[in-house]
Amino acid sequence: MRRFETLLGLAAAVLMVVAAILAPWLKFVLTIALAKGIAVIGIMLLLRAGQVSFGHAVFIGLSAYAVAFLAPAVPEALVLLIAGTAVATVSGLLIGLFVSRYREIFFGMLNLALSMVIYSVLEKFYSITKGTDGIRVELPRFAGMALERADFEWAIFALALVLAIGFALFARLYLASPMGQALSAIKTRETRLEFMGVPARQVLLSAYVLSALMGGVAGALIAMTTRHVTPLLAYWTASGELVFIAILGGAGSVLGPFLGAVTFELVRIYAGAAVADAWQMILGGVLLAVILFAPGGLWGMIQGALRRRAAP
Amino acid sequence: MSEPLLSARGLRLAFGGVRAADGIDLDVLRGEFLAIIGPNGAGKTTFINMTTGYLRPQAGTITYEGQPITGLQPRAIVRRGVARSFQLPQLFTEHTVEENVALALAARDGVWSPLAPLLRPRWRDEARETLERFGLTALADARADALNEGARKLADIAMAVALKPRLLLMDEPTSGVAASEKMGIVETLVRVLREAKVTAVFVEHDMDVVERFADRVAVWSQGRIAALGPPAEVLADPVVQREVIGIERHA
Amino acid sequence: MAEWFQDNSGLLGLALLDGLASAGLIFLVAVGLNLVFGVLRIVNVAHGSLYAIGAYAAASVGIFFASLGLPAWASLPALFIAAALVGVVLGPLIERFILRRIYGQEEVLQLLVTFALFMILEDVQKLIWGVQPVQHDVAMRYLGTFDVPFAGDVVPFTAYQLFVLPGVALVVLVGLAWFLRRTLTGRVIVAVTTDREAATAMGIDARRVFLLTFTFGAILAALGGALSSPTGAIVPGIGPQTIVLSFAVVATAGLGQTEGAALTALMIGLGRSIAVYFEPELEVVVPYIIMLAVLLVRPQGLFGTTTTRRI
């Protein structure tokens, strides 16, 4: 299964490049999907510990705003990526120190509440953040090169793809490590973990900070792709979408988040084009169907199909 | 006689009006198997909970290997070499039995260790070896939530033993186990613990088990120790027979 | 400090009156959410959508009544009729066909099912009522205004906000307390909330209780929306706004606490309206600040109780 996972991941990466070459408009969609997929890997880590955050979009938002604010002063994509990620990671550590004391519904609600505070600040302090109008992100250089818009978009797409592969591999190692195993032990028997000498809170906190970091990477990529940031990036419904993508893709594999993100973005675009005011309804219907009929998500469906072929 | 491994002095803890510990003084000697008996609600589990850091005594001190451990966090106490097992087995239900034990081994060596990837094969081998000692090899790949009660108890204790403790506290290792399996399980336990030179304190309701395997027995009654000594002596005491064993046999 | 209070006592008084009205609405929504969580153990993300649909439906029923030529006073009962309709139709539909299929499943799946419902209901609103603001304030205008003295002058408050909103909330609070303590069904709901295993072991038909409670919660959410409808324009997005606010109330109060939810709603309602008068930017943030402050000190909420796990 692990080899199949690797092969499928590589095949998907190649397919994405081909698709982006054949249909340039897809490049934009795929870049966003890859970015969200990276953020959803972070959600997946928390889900392993049985914790659902309904506020993780806030790390995407914080990083995106950091990029937008810094872009005029430091017009270099790679530096902006690092800066945005750093802002999200530090915020993740501060928020994580607080929320890692809580579990389950309280964990979810506190994340939600904190994200709403930050969302409101972004929305209300117009003089600094331009409120709901949002901020335009200036076109930065890429690795010192001043690129045309189209070339810059290619560069960000490539960057997103490389980062996605990197984070997927990292997450696979992490989940197989004792830290990753201890994460799912939090879900089933946290007390036992303490009686084995493992500080459960620190295990959860480190996963939380990692997830904020991944959200930060996603936020910076999204900011440089859409080149326009608004508070909606951090609204709780955006956080809900991240959890949605995690379940849609399936939590069984690090490919799940990307399967989910690509499907989510494509359904959103096609549904939006077909019925302008009902794309949310269609996405909601998809989500409902997945939970009720395929709780393992897309990855679970692929796995099931493989097993049936392996054992006829 | 050498200095005791664990000393409790004047432990007190009340929940509401119930005195779960009402001045407990107890020494656990190196290498011994000490059984704790007594009716339900006498405070036997509370003693284990206080010793392992789950509950903090309101008064009194606990000394382990000459160092005070009163009120430390469970994980700090485990690191010093005091492990416990549970009346209701606390297994990681999404993992296999082998993974459960391997995780305990990882916990012992440090889950943060940067050497983790290198240590994994060693943990796996050691987990298998531990399961073999407990006679659980056949169940190594079974998910922990699929086991019967006897196997769950053994797996629970195997995880505690994997931590390489010098003192192991077991809360009713044989409760809920079918009568036919009971003696087998206890024999396995005693063999493994003797081999590993682990001192053991165990709460037990079965007097046959106590008589056969305990070096000493402590009789708990309403948060106090009512009697302490070799099983033959203590269990023969008419007061103990009437007050404790009579109730036990009923219960 | 004391001086500041003296200087601003008039404004504080006005904020208090505003706060009572908004607290009443928040309470209705939050207590429904709380009740559903207590019994079903599901945090219903779509609860805010029921509020929004209640608001839209109230406007529609009001307009329909007017088109029948009914007098202006009929717009008041119209609010309650709309809320009951929404709750009685959508409640059983959602519980019976969707929620019932995911009881006992992982928490994240339950949460996501209601998130899916939320997404669907958001678009249902847009398809039925469009995206333009909807306004129907006959009920509020019918009751007229009430002059509140302020700084040697008077400020007209609508009697609707001054009396109807806090009044209905109070009636619901007292009625609910009576229902939960004195009636058989109420006691069953309390029993299932405190110990579901024991309650079902006693032979309580959990399914019936779940259906009943969810419908009841839906009615309360819709009632909150319906009562809010005369006070302003109904626009897309009030659902998601309302649900996060009621989450904050429920978490601050402690899960499963009815009277606690009322006091917390009052606190948050007042906090918000005071912010509106003195630091308008903070209005939206105040509830969450209160919640974070409370949970920092009391993780189980103001009125919640902790249980130690038995090991």
Contact A140/A128 with Cβ under 8 angstroms?
Answer: no
The alpha carbon dihedral of B237, B240, B243, B244 has a sign of negative
pLDDT digits (tens, 9 = 90+) for A83-98: 999 999 999 999 999 8
pLDDT above 80 (res C3): no
Q: What is the mean predicted confidence (pLDDT) over A108-137?
A: 86
pLDDT digits (tens, 9 = 90+) for A171-184: 998 998 888 888 98
Instruction: Give a yes or no: residue C57 inside a domain.
Output: yes
Alpha helices in chain C (DSSP H): 2-7, 9-40, 47-67, 75-97, 107-129, 138-143, 159, 165-182, 184-194, 196-201, 206-228, 238-253, 258-278, 286-297
Contact A284/C118 with Cβ under 8 angstroms?
Answer: yes
Three-state secondary-structure class, residue C146: strand
Which residues lie across from C149 on neighbouring strands? C154
Under DSSP, the state recorded for C232 is S
pLDDT digits (tens, 9 = 90+) for A231-286: 999 998 999 999 999 999 998 889 999 999 999 999 998 888 888 778 889 999 99
Instruction: Give a yes or no: residue C311 inside a domain.
Output: no
B-chain CB neighbours of A177 within 8 Å are 111, 116-117
* Residue among A311, A308, A301 at smallest CA distance from A8: A301
CATH (residue range A2-310): 1.10.3470
* pLDDT of the residue at A255: 92
Question: What gap in Å lies between CA A282 and CA A272, rounded to an integer?
Answer: 9
pLDDT digits (tens, 9 = 90+) for A186-211: 988 888 888 998 888 999 999 999 99
Instruction: Give a yes or no: residue C285 inside a domain.
Output: yes
Number of domains composing chain C: 1
Instruction: Give a yes or no: residue C25 inside a domain.
Output: yes
Contact B52/A197 with Cβ under 8 angstroms?
Answer: no
CB-defined contacts B:C, below 8 A: 6
What band does C306 get if pLDDT is binned at 50, 70 and 90?
low
The alpha carbon dihedral of A227, A230, A234, A236 has a sign of negative
Q: What tokens appear for A168 in the block?
A: 């997927």
pLDDT digits (tens, 9 = 90+) for A39-68: 999 999 999 999 999 999 999 999 999 999
Kindly identify which residue of chain C lies nearest to residue B88, measuring between CA atoms: C311
Residues of chain A above pLDDT 70, percent: 99
Instruction: Give a yes or no: residue C4 inside a domain.
Output: no
C-chain CB neighbours of B94 within 8 Å are none
Q: What is the mean predicted confidence (pLDDT) over C114-120?
A: 93
CB-based contacts of C287, cutoff 8 Å, min separation 6: C245, C248, C249, C268, C271, C272
pLDDT digits (tens, 9 = 90+) for C180-236: 888 988 888 888 887 777 777 777 777 888 999 999 999 999 999 999 998 888 888
Q: Which stretches of chain B score pLDDT less than 50?
A: 250-251
CB-based contacts of A135, cutoff 8 Å, min separation 6: A65, A68, A69, A129, A228, A229
The alpha carbon dihedral of B15, B19, B25, B27 has a sign of negative
Kindly report the average pLDDT of chain C as a whole number. 86
Kindly identify which residue of chain B lies nearest to residue C309, measuring between CA atoms: B54
| CB–CB contact A281 C296 (8 Å) | no
Cα C100 to chain center, whole Å? Answer: 23
Greater confidence (C57 vs C152) lies with C57
Which residues lie across from B61 on neighbouring strands? B9
* pLDDT of the residue at B251: 44
Residue C112 lies in domain: 16-297
Instruction: Give a yes or no: residue C308 inside a domain.
Output: no
pTM, two decimal places: 0.89
Q: What is the mean predicted confidence (pLDDT) over C8-32?
A: 86
Instruction: Give a yes or no: residue C7 inside a domain.
Output: no
> Which subunits sit against B, judged by 3+ Cβ pairs under 8 A?
A, C
Annotate A93-148 with DSSP letters as a single string: HHHHHHHTT--HHHHHHHHHHHHHHHHHHHHH-HHHH-GGG-EEPP--BBTTB---
Annotate C9-63 with DSSP letters as a single string: HHHHHHHHHHHHHHHHHHHHHHHHHHHHHHHH----TTHHHHHHHHHHHHHHHHH
User: Which of A237-241, C72-76, C107-111, C161-165 is the most confident on average?
Assistant: A237-241
pLDDT above 70 (res C20): yes
Those residues of chain C whose CB sits closer than 8 Å to some CB in chain A are 37, 43, 45, 98, 101-102, 105-109, 111-113, 115-120, 122-124, 126-127, 131, 240, 244, 247-248, 250-251, 255, 281, 284-285, 288-289, 291-292, 295-296, 299, 309, 311
* Residue among B74, B144, C306, B91 at smallest CA distance from A189: B91
Greater confidence (C256 vs C311) lies with C256
pLDDT digits (tens, 9 = 90+) for B182-219: 888 888 889 999 998 999 999 988 888 888 889 999 99
Question: What gap in Å lies between CA B159 and CA C305, rounded to an integer?
Answer: 33
CATH top class, domain B6-91+147-250: alpha beta
Greater confidence (B249 vs C155) lies with C155
Cα of C102 to nearest chain A Cα, Å: 8
Q: Measure the CA angle with vertex B220, ends B198 and B67; round to 5°.
A: 45
Is some CB atom of chain B closer than 8 A to the CB atom of C306?
Answer: no
Residues of chain C above pLDDT 70, percent: 97
From residue C281, give the alpha-carbon distance in Å to each of A58, A236, C234.
19, 19, 22
Q: Where in chain B are the domains?
A: 6-91+147-250
ipTM of the complex: 0.88
Which residues lie across from B24 on neighbouring strands? B11
pLDDT above 90 (res A132): no
* pLDDT of the residue at B245: 65
Instruction: Give a yes or no: residue C94 inside a domain.
Output: yes
CATH of the domain at C104: 1.10.3470
Q: Count of CB atoms within 10 A of residue A162's CB? A: 12
Q: Which helix (H) or strand (E) holds B220?
A: strand B216-221
> Position C221: which residue type?
A
Question: What gap in Å lies between CA B240 and CA A65, rounded to an integer?
Answer: 73
From residue C82, give the alpha-carbon distance in Å to each of A7, B104, C142, C213, C214.
56, 59, 18, 19, 17
Is some CB atom of chain B closer than 8 A to the CB atom of C311?
Answer: yes
